Amino acid sequence: MAKKRTIVGSPLTPSVLSELDAVDRFPSTPGDFDPAGNWVNAYRIWTCHGYRESGNENVGFLRIERTAGSGRQSGLTIHQEVVQTDGIVSVIDGRIRCRNDRLASLVQWSLSSRFKGSEGRDLAELASRREGAAEETGGRTTGDWCLFEAVQRLAFDRQEALSFDLLEGLSLSKPGQRLSYRGVSPMKVGDEKMSLHCFAQLGRGLLPCEYWLDVHHRLLAVISMNKAYILDDQAEKASR
């Protein structure tokens, strides 16, 4: 008899992630958490193949560390690992300097990319490095990882949508993006009922993306189509 396969049938939200056993609880936000201060957020990278019973799995993790600056700028340190075909792991390390404006717009950055084989050895021939500065981006550009930081500092109100250009992966230009506040929604994650705030990103050349935050402005999940970044203190361990 063929195994049962039930189509998910609805867009992914934190509640749906819980139903699919992708998350049973989110980490508690520390009482001294300050979105504009120093912090580290770690996320499991999880994908859904469209069915409730199978094909859904952790494929990697993302760690973002914010270092508050002394003036109008701050720093982000990025480390991401994603498992590819045949057990090859894509590893990205980035250092970003961005403005403390509403979009954490880019000032300067460096990015290194490498791959590890199934035995954990670096594939040196596939390594690359890239550096950039704001003068190259037209002046109103942010990065996808920068938005993980920026949304935590935005007010929960329906102001006019923010318009910007995005440098996806700090490499590929995606102009014509908009970020807007969608409101607060009741969610059930595991046994806990939560009120989560949502920002939505729409634009040319990218799938729609939603950012879900708790009442303390900590980013709990980023969801785009079938992929979710889920806040998890054990993200690195859970993804191996």
User: What domains appear along the chain, each with residue ranges and CATH number?
Assistant: 14-26+36-49+56-238 (2.50.20)
The candidate with the shortest Cα–Cα distance to 222, out of 9, 11, 74, 13, is: 13
Retrieve residue 61's tokens.
């993790």
Strands 162-168 and 227-231: what pairing? unpaired
* CA-to-CA dists, residue 124 to 71, 91, 111, 121, 180, angstroms: 38, 12, 16, 9, 41
pLDDT score recorded for residue 240: 63
Q: pTM surpassing 0.85?
A: yes
Name the phi and psi angles at 227, rounded to 5.
-120, 140
SS3 (DSSP) at 144: helix
pLDDT score recorded for residue 73: 93
> For residue 86, is pLDDT > 90?
no
SS3 (DSSP) at 27: coil
What are the tens digits of pLDDT across the range 105-116?
999 999 999 998
